[in-house]
Amino acid sequence: MSLYVVTGSGSGMGRASAEQLIAQGHEVLGIDLRDADIIADLSTAEGRAQAVATVLEKSAGRLDGAVLAAGVGPIPGREMLTASVNYLGVTELLLGLRPALAAAGNSKVVVYASNAATTTPGVPDALVSAFLDNNLEAIPELIAPFGEYASALVYGASKLALSRWLRRTAVTPEWAGSGIRLNAIAPGAILTPLLQSQLDGPNGDAVRSFPIPIGSFGSAEQIAAWTTFMLSPAADFMAGAIVFVDGGTDALIRANDWPVAAALPSA
């Protein structure tokens, strides 16, 4: 039996992942605002520190893996909530939990990115840099000119920056060299309570028109199945990977953008 921590375990994809891990005989420490083993607000520095401290205490300093599923969608007027949960709620938790993950010797981490990282048009480089520089205080000024589109840009930028942080971090001696396999899933339109609220909202028609080549939404259980696979020994040779599970949307929009050949080194 292995011990995993799962953020966002109270609903949606996080809950489905926690349930599948428990069904496989593993122990799970769930983190969420409610209906979880550890109640913590990942939008605040105090909540993130509390979550880390409680996990370290309950795990006795050893974790076999982690699933960072907690996230907030593009909510107009709540851009800073989206920014802090989606980025700091992952990076700060993982940095705090790294010693416990390293103690296991062969641990796996699955971060929930999003295909919004590659399909949201017009995300400013300066906005992504604000995340990567941990300068979230700059975000309100950066998004001020974009009006109603600001919330979508913050969401896309948070997931794009998170994906870049993950790829940079995963291959370092502190992570890959310490036996921690750090990878991500990039879901597309998954029928969760979050997506349902968007479908029922004023922009529901726009959400429905988003292109999904296979023609239907995904399910939380499908993402959970990928999550448990990426926590298994099958993922021993994965590090820094981002797996798109989005019905083909990323491939449709970026068919010729990725993969790309590496540039020749400068003389």
Place of tokens 């499908």: 222
Q: Could you tell me the CA-to-CA distances from 150 to 87, 120, 226, 249 in Å, in that order? A: 16, 11, 31, 22
* Banded model confidence at residue 79, pLDDT cuts 50, 70, 90: very high
Which of 4, 87, 112, 155 is flagged as catalytic?
Answer: 155
Tell me which residue has tokens 């076999």: 64
Question: CB of 95 within 8 A of CB of 138?
Answer: no
- Look at residue 109 and tell me whether its pLDDT is greater than 90: yes
Per-residue 3-state assignment (H helix, E strand, C coil) for 10-77:
CCHHHHHHHHHHHHCCCEEEEEECCCCCEECCCCCHHHHHHHHHHHHHHHCCCCCEEEECCCCCCCCC
- Residues 132/167, Cβ–Cβ less than 8 Å: no
Residue 118 has phi, psi (to 5 degrees) of: -115, -5
Query: In the numeric block, which tokens belong to residue 112?
Result: 């929930």
pLDDT on residue 66: 98
Distance CA 169, CA 92 (A): 13
Q: Residues 17-38: pLDDT tens digits? A: 999 999 999 999 999 999 999 9
Helix ranges, the chain (H): 12-23, 45-59, 79-83, 89-104, 116-119, 125-132, 139-143, 150-170, 193-200, 204-208, 220-230, 249-253
Q: Is 256's pLDDT higher than 80?
A: yes
Residue 267 pLDDT grade (very low, low, confident, very high; cuts 50, 70, 90): low
87 tagged catalytic: no
Q: What is the pLDDT of residue 3?
A: 98
At 192 the pLDDT is 83
pLDDT in tens, 196-250: 787 888 878 877 888 999 999 999 999 999 999 999 999 999 999 999 999 999 9
Model pTM score: 0.95
Instruction: Using the structure block, give the residue that is written with the tokens 């997931």.
Output: 159
CA distances from 113 to 7, 57, 67, 244 (A): 13, 27, 11, 9
| Sign of the dihedral through C-alpha 195, 131, 62, 170 | positive
Using the predicted structure, report yes or no on whether residue 194 has a pLDDT greater than 80. Answer: no
Q: Which residues contact 237 (CB under 8 A, 6 or more apart)?
A: none
pLDDT tens across 127-173, in order? 999 999 999 999 999 999 999 999 999 999 999 999 999 999 999 99
Rounded Cα gap, residues 152 and 253, in angstroms: 17
What would the mean pLDDT of 53-63 be, rounded to a whole number? 98
